[in-house]
């Protein structure tokens, strides 16, 4: 699998660390909504098909990227910086 790091270019998957489901929303830090925190920490969409997920280019620039990857075919349709303002 090749992931096109927006900073470094296409790199082998072995340079990246998977950081999981990117569809989760972290509740407000001060929130005491147990259900919302549970959903954020423990529940996953686990899509079969296009899946929005984080990867870190740990063996490269160390930036996190948002990847849309089909979990059935492993085809990657988009890669973007997780932190939009750094490119």
Partner 1 sequence: MSPRRTAAGGRIDRARTIRFTFDGKPMTGHLGDTLASALLAGGVTLVGRSFKYHRPRGVFAAGVDEPCALVTVIDGQAREPNVPATQIEIFDGLVVESQNRFPSLGFDLGAVNGLFGGLFSAGFYYKTFMGPVVGPLKGTRFWMLCEWFIRRAAGLGRAGDAKDAARYEKMNAFCDVLVVGSGPAGLMAAKAAAASGKRVMLAEQEPLFGGAARWSGETIDDAPAERWADEAVAELAGLDNVRLLPRTTVWGIYDGNTIAALERVTDHKASRARGEPRHRHWSIRAGKVVLATGALERPLVFPGNDRPGVMLARAAGRYAAEYGVLPGGRIAVFTNNDSAYRAAAALHRAGATIAAIVDVRAQVSAAASKLARETGAEHLTGHAVVDTAGRQRLRQITIRRFDAASGALSGAARRVEADCLAVSGGWSPAIHLASQAGAAARWDERLQAFLPPEPTGGWVGAGSFTGAFTTQEAIAQGLAAGAAAVGATPAASKPPQAGGPDLDVTPAPVFEIRAKGKAFVDLQHDVTAEDVRLAHREGFVSVEHLKRYTTLGMATDQGKTSNVPGLAIMADAAGRTIPQVGTTRFRPPYSAVSLGSLAAERHGELRPERLTPMHDWHIERGARMLAAGLWFRPQIYGQPGETVEQAYAREAAAVRAGVGIVDVSTLGKIAVQGPDAAAFLDRVYTNVFSSLPVNKARYGLMLREDGLAFDDGTTWRLGEHEFLMTTTTANAGKVMQHLEYFLDVVWPDLRVNLTSVTDQWAGAAVAGPKARDVLAACVARTGVDNEMLPFMGIVRGEIDGIPVTICRLSFSGELAYEVYCGAGHGLAMWEALMEAGKPFGIVPYGLEALGTLRIEKGHVTGSEIDGRTTARDLHLGWMLSKKKPFIGSAMMDREGLASPERLQLVGLVSLDNRAIANGAHIVEGKQPPDDPHGSIGHVTANCFSPALGRYVALALVKGGTSRHGTRAHISDPLRGRFGPVEIVSHHMFDPEGSRMHG
Partner 2 sequence: MAEYSALSLLKNALSANRDWKPAWRKPEPKPAYDVVIIGGGGHGLSTAWYLAKEHGITNVAVLEKGYLGSGNIGRNTTIIRSNYLLPENTRFYEHSMKLWENLSHELNYNVMFSQRGVLNLAHTPSQLDDFARRGNAMRHEGIDAELIVGAAAVGRLVPGLDVSGSARFPIIGGLLQPRAGTARHDAVAWGYARAADRRGVDMIENCEVTGFLREGDRIVGVSTTRGEIRAGKVAVAVAGSTGRVMKLAGIERLPIESHVLQAFVSEALKPVLHTVVTFGAGHLYASQSDKGGLVFGGDIDGYNSYAQRGNLPVVEEVASEFVAMFPGFSRVRLLRSWGGIMDMSMDGSPIITTGPLPGMYLNCGWCYGGFKATPASGYCFAHTIARDEQHPLSAAFTLDRFQRGILIDEKGQGATPRLH
82 part of the interface to partner 1, by CB under 8 A = yes
Nearest to 42 by CA among 18, 65, 26: 26
12 part of the interface to partner 1, by CB under 8 A = yes
Sign of dihedral through CA atoms 9, 13, 14, 17? positive
Q: Return the residues of window 43-62 that contact partner 1 according to CB under 8 A.
A: 54, 56, 58, 62
By CB under 8 A, name the binding residues for partner 2.
Answer: 1, 12-14, 17-18, 20-21, 34-35, 38-39, 41-48, 51, 53, 55, 69, 71-74
At closest approach, how far in Å is the CB of 6 from partner 2?
Answer: 19
Q: What is the separation of C-alpha 79 from the centre of its chain, rounded to a whole number of angstroms?
A: 9
CB 20 within 8 A of CB 53: yes
């Amino acid at each position: 699998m090749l992931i096109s790091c927006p900073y470094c270019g296409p790199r082998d998957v072995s340079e990246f660390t998977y950081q999981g489901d990117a569809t989760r929303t972290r509740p407000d830090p001060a929130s005491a909504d147990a259900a919302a925190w549970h959903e954020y920490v423990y529940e996953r969409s686990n899509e079969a098909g296009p899946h929005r997920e984080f990867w870190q280019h740990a063996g490269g620039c160390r930036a996190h990227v948002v990847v849309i990857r089909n979990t059935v075919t492993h085809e990657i349709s988009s890669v973007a910086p997780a932190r939009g303002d750094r490119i």
